Amino acid sequence: MAPILLCSILSLSIFLERLWTLQRKKVVPARFIVRIEHLLRSEKIADALSLCSKSNYSISRILISGIKNFGRKREVIKEIIEEIGKREAAYLNRHLESLSTIASISTLLGLLGTISGMIKIFSVISFQEVVNPSILAGGISEALYTTSAGLSVAIPTIIFYRYISGKSDMLILEMEEYCLRMVELIKERQE
């Protein structure tokens, strides 16, 4: 039961940390995007670069690379932005596999408890001529409690995983759209 409890604490901790990190206002804040777009349209490249440098958003770290390469070919800027974007996507997806692993481990730990309880039951049956029902009940309850505990951790953890994965994918898609729009805007200003 102690490992299952540890799994539940880890699962909840990772979920809450990811919820905090994956807030839209921390990844792709709308006002920031509007300001950058306005600065690029006004051809204030230095101001846009300065604003991105001062900001600690995922999108700002990606846009810095594109703005720094102002004047280069569109394909080069796009390739650089994609490379930085992959790093930011990895950051946004951080710990997702841990949630998946915790869900699997919790289920297996519950199964292990079930097997342990069943072994106790069969041990009692095999060594005693007269079986004491209270000893059997103890083994059965151990089996059921650990199975229940394992599933009680695994099911919410799978839900956490799916929710965080979806949220992360949505934010990554938004960043890609904004970055492509900014690349086009940078290219327009160069022509």
Give the pLDDT score at 172. 93
Does residue 148 sit in the same domain as residue 182? no
With cut-offs at 50, 70 and 90, classify the pLDDT of residue 104.
very high
With cut-offs at 50, 70 and 90, classify the pLDDT of residue 44.
confident
Q: Which of 188, 186, 191, 189 is nearest to 81 (CA)?
A: 186
> What is each CA distance from 44 to 15, 39, 48, 113, in whole angstroms?
40, 5, 6, 64
The total number of structural domains in the chain stands at 2
Give the pLDDT score at 154. 95
Give yes or no for residue 183 having a pLDDT over 90: no
In a domain, 112, yes or no: yes
With cut-offs at 50, 70 and 90, classify the pLDDT of residue 190.
low
The per-residue pLDDT for range 110-162, each reduced to its tens digit, is 999 888 888 878 877 777 777 777 777 777 887 889 899 999 999 999 999 99
Domain residues for the domain of 44 are 22-94+167-190
Give yes or no for residue 15 having a pLDDT over 70: yes
Does residue 110 sit in the same domain as residue 64? no
Q: What is the mean pLDDT of the chain?
A: 88
Judged by phi (left if over 0) then psi (alpha if -120 to 50, else beta), residue 95 lies in left
Does residue 86 sit in the same domain as residue 176? yes
Does residue 90 sit in the same domain as residue 180? yes
Does residue 56 sit in the same domain as residue 118? no
Q: pTM for the whole thing?
A: 0.82
Does residue 62 sit in the same domain as residue 88? yes
**Is-contact 89 172, C-beta < 8 A?**
yes
Q: Which of 1, 2, 61, 75 is nearest to 26 (CA)?
A: 61
Give the pLDDT score at 118. 84
User: Which has the minimum average pLDDT: 12-16, 38-42, 91-95?
Assistant: 38-42
Percent of the chain with pLDDT over 90: 46
Give yes or no for residue 18 having a pLDDT over 90: yes
> What is each CA distance from 74 to 33, 98, 151, in whole angstroms?
20, 38, 51
Give the pLDDT score at 181. 85
Give the pLDDT score at 148. 92
Does residue 135 sit in the same domain as residue 172? no
83, burial (CB in 10 Å: exposed 0-12, middle 13-18, buried 19+) = exposed
**Is-contact 106 4, C-beta < 8 A?**
yes
Q: What average pLDDT does the segment 43-55 reach? A: 89
In a domain, 153, yes or no: yes
Does residue 160 sit in the same domain as residue 171? no
Q: Which of 71, 29, 83, 22 is nearest to 51 (CA)?
A: 29
CA 131 – CA 116 distance, rounded (Å): 18
